[in-house]
Amino acid sequence: MGTIKLESINKSYKDTKVIENLNLTINKGERLVLLGPSGCGKSTLLRIIAGLEEINSGSIQFEDKEMSHLSAGERNVAMVFQNYALYPHMTVEKNITYALKRNKVPKAEINKRLEKALDMLELQEYRTRLPKDLSGGQRQRVALARAIVKQTEYFLLDEPLSNLDAKLRVSARQSLLHLHEEFKHTFVYVTHDQVEAMALGDRIVVLKKGEIQMLDTPENIYFKPVNVFTAQFIGSPPMNIFKASLEDKSLKIGETVIHLPENLRVRLLDYEKNEIYLGIRPEHMSISTTGLYDMTFNFVENYGSQYGVCLDFNRQECITVSNEKVKDKMVKVNFDLNHLHLFDIDTEENLIYS
């Protein structure tokens, strides 16, 4: 048990297509994150897996068992929602054990699971409280406890941390990683927060308008994004994308020639268009007196440990990071040649990694 297979999934709400011909295999015991902007269909996909949403066509299998027409209850998944969906009139322990009682799990077993969950999520002292008397973080832990006691292979989480403040989010992320370490569930986790996705995912699915853009490890998504959308969705500040012209295989931004390394020049041999996108992450640009490219300083953002320096390169805006607060009106900038990306001007696909 543990693998989830989605084949040719289509889902529309009336005339609005939300998911189109989606194929995805989630491995047993992995933490898979569904990442994408608001409205791209992440929650719909999770609810389809959970059995809370009907599909128009396609197949959903848990291991080799067809699930498409089974109800949520019959699929035996544990789900944690963004708003926690706790029963307001039930105490913490009743919230945690309600589904087990309904499923006629023996009393001794229910108590065993309850005590373990209360211990793990540090909820013992709140066990007799109602949800209204708990903080957001405590409610979120109750929702997790309620999911854990189901002891299912499948753990589906829909933005469970988004109502928490930044500090609590970090500790809640660690709790989730510990839980996964202990139970080795198949985790499917929805978020629009790329930091959360990078921290929690063994693999990340980047979604745009119901279509998978990239499915890979966090490292590959960061360093080898297959297209402009993925490149700019992951990373903060996002990757800089410059529109460049190509004349005699020489790449120019405005009037400035960009010196490409040989391995990238080779990629351009078959590229027949006159324009291209050049991508570089802010941390792969550096301000230096020996920099090759002249840029105009616009403004600086304070990130705490570093500054984000916003620049203008031949009338195209870009951003780099620096340990020092830049004050000069003109700066010289270097590009790290090992971290340049070239994207097709029309398809926006990465010409190096796609």
Where do contacts with ligand ATP occur on this chain (CB under 6 A)?
13, 16, 18, 36, 38-44, 192
Cα–Cα–Cα angle for 208, 211, 215, rounded to 5 degrees: 90
Compare residues 18 and 333 and give the one whose CB is closer to ligand ATP.
Answer: 18
Strand partners, 340: 280
* Torsion from C-alpha of 74, 77, 83, 84, nearest 10 degrees: 100
Dihedral sign (CA 35, 37, 40, 43): positive
Considering the complex, what minimum distance in angstroms separates the CB of residue 298 from ligand ATP? 31
Considering the complex, what minimum distance in angstroms separates the CB of residue 4 from ligand ATP? 17
Taking the C-alpha atoms of residue 141 and residue 288, their distance in angstroms, rounded to an integer, is: 48
Compare residues 19 and 311 and give the one whose CB is closer to ligand ATP.
Answer: 19
Compare residues 43 and 230 and give the one whose CB is closer to ligand ATP.
Answer: 43
Considering the complex, what minimum distance in angstroms separates the CB of residue 42 from ligand ATP? 4
Tokens 């903060």 locate to: 236
Compare residues 43 and 320 and give the one whose CB is closer to ligand ATP.
Answer: 43
Structure tokens at 253: 């931004």
* Residue-wise DSSP of 197-225: HHHH-SEEEEEETTEEEEEE-HHHHHHS-
Give 53's DSSP letter.
S
Compare residues 51 and 282 and give the one whose CB is closer to ligand ATP.
Answer: 51
Compare residues 97 and 140 and give the one whose CB is closer to ligand ATP.
Answer: 140
Task: Give residue 258's region: left, alpha or beta (phi > 0; psi -120 to 50).
Answer: beta
Residue 2: C-alpha distances to residues 45, 70, 124, 298 (Å): 17, 17, 30, 52
Instruction: Tally the C-alpha atoms within 13 A of residue 303's C-alpha that lie toward its C-beta.
Output: 14
> 233 near 193, Cβ under 8 Å?
no
Considering the complex, what minimum distance in angstroms separates the CB of residue 173 from ligand ATP? 18
Considering the complex, what minimum distance in angstroms separates the CB of residue 208 from ligand ATP? 10
Compare residues 30 and 158 and give the one whose CB is closer to ligand ATP.
Answer: 158
Considering the complex, what minimum distance in angstroms separates the CB of residue 40 from ligand ATP? 4
Taking the C-alpha atoms of residue 47 and residue 346, their distance in angstroms, rounded to an integer, is: 34
Considering the complex, what minimum distance in angstroms separates the CB of residue 90 from ligand ATP? 27
Considering the complex, what minimum distance in angstroms separates the CB of residue 264 from ligand ATP? 35
- Three-state DSSP class for 13? strand
Compare residues 55 and 251 and give the one whose CB is closer to ligand ATP.
Answer: 55
